Chain A
């Protein structure tokens, strides 16, 4: 197999890795914000449900959750494709940690902001969406960026349920006659490293974007 072909296979794998990561982060973030805000609710029932969710899914191992979703859920009557199973499991896992980041960041927004929003007669959803969350986002971004990198790394696990991601392609390539496993795995590790550098860069950009005009978070410090 030519070097070019090898490289193309690896890039295809990297595309799948990015796809799984992006989808898991997207749906996991929606879940994280909902769970995080629910954790600040006045309802004791809602807070208890959130507590249980966070404890269970922070406790469970991502790889065991993934296998359970892919292999055991069908026996309960839910059939998922490898991609759906991967995105579902990684997203649930992200949300268990992400919700705590959201909760902490929202609590860190000064009370005066909510009070001022109430004073100018904004509705509760409007207060949360337009006043509190944009400010909390700045504080959330650095830890959230680390979390996204953890999810990207965990996405390698989907190769175990036969999704053709970067790790899967690596295993495929190194089994070919004449291939050198040292080269294949070194190339793959470098690709993963490049992806995580990319994620770090995007998070930096977002920090600057969301930090504009605010005096909290790291963005303020570097201004």
Chain B
């Protein structure tokens, strides 16, 4: 190590863009981006299912179910994903002897975090189903489960698809945070390359550009979906 205080970049000063170096690191960054997309997609898969369960649980007539679920949703929504990931990564093995791969924890953490967001969207969708629909289901003496499955959800879920789409993009943007718990996301790969080469300009710029190359089309796709389905909320 040189005795210079501060970041290596500071010691190095202004750099010039090196295309050859950029080309060299591209495959690794692409792999990192692929990992990022996987975390977001799998996490959102959990969020879409768990969010619906939470939304229904929050409407339960039983206080012992409704109140804790409501509190947990608010709590998770109000605290940083980064700290939640640290919690899973550090506290689970130390205090509960549960050791899971970092990738699994990242997917679970992101999934639960966004489930608390999607549950609120589902709730809005469920509340938008007219009273008469519930009453009609009762009049037909449908069971509770059948009312949800055949009457309420088929009307509620399509209405919230645009809102859910926005969370797909949001979760993609949060996925790189998983590099803080050692997952090789695009950011984790960038950090690694930077620490070995001390070249930050190409690494982080390319990481940003690669990210935008996925997130902007995703955002446009979601908006297209939104227009196609209409936005009732």
Contact = CB atoms under 8 A, between A and B. Distances in A.
21 contacts: A55-B219, A58-B219, A59-B169, A59-B215, A60-B208, A61-B174, A61-B175, A62-B173, A63-B187, A68-B205, A74-B7, A74-B10, A74-B200, A76-B15, A149-B78, A153-B78, A156-B81, A156-B83, A157-B82, A170-B86, A189-B83
Interface string B81-106: 11110110011001100000000000
A59 B219 contact: yes
Interface string A122-157: 000000000000000000000000000100011111
B128 to A, nearest CB: 18
Interface in A150-188: 153-157, 159-160, 167, 170-171, 174, 180-182, 185, 188
Nearest to A78: B14
A72 interface: yes
A27 interface: no
A26 interface: no
B200 A71 contact: yes
A155 B219 CA distance: 23
B75 interface: yes
B95 A181 contact: yes
B122 interface: no
Nearest to B71: A193
Most buried by A among B79, B80, B205, B208: B80
A75 B199 CA distance: 8
Interface string A64-100: 1101100110111101000000000000000000000
Contacts of B203: 71-72
A189 B174 contact: no
A56 to B, nearest CB: 7
A71 B212 contact: no
Given A181-B91, A182-B95, A189-B83, 5 more contacts: A60-B208, A65-B208, A71-B204, A75-B201, A197-B78
Interface string B174-190: 11110010000011001
B207 interface: yes
Given A72-B205, A170-B86, A153 B80 contact: yes
Given A64-B207, A64-B211, A65-B208, A71 B80 contact: no
Interface residues of A, number: 41
Contacts of A149: 78
Contacts of B173: 59-62
Most buried by A among B7, B81, B191, B204: B204
A156 B14 CA distance: 29
B9 interface: yes
Contact of A68 (B15, B90, B208): B208
A153 to B, nearest CB: 4
Given A71-B200, A72-B200, A170-B86, A189 B190 contact: no
Interface in B91-130: 91, 94-95
Nearest to B15: A75
A79 B7 CA distance: 11
A187 to B, nearest CB: 11
B78 A72 contact: no
Contacts of A9: none
Nearest to A154: B80
A196 interface: yes
Contact of A193 (B75, B81, B216, B219): B75
B145 to A, nearest CB: 34
Contacts of B83: 156, 167, 170, 185, 188-189, 192
A189 B201 contact: no
A192 B80 contact: yes
A75 B21 CA distance: 15
A181 B94 contact: yes
B179 to A, nearest CB: 8
B38 interface: no
A171 B84 CA distance: 12
B171 to A, nearest CB: 10
Contacts of B91: 181-182, 185
A192 B78 contact: yes
B204 A160 contact: no
B194 A167 contact: no
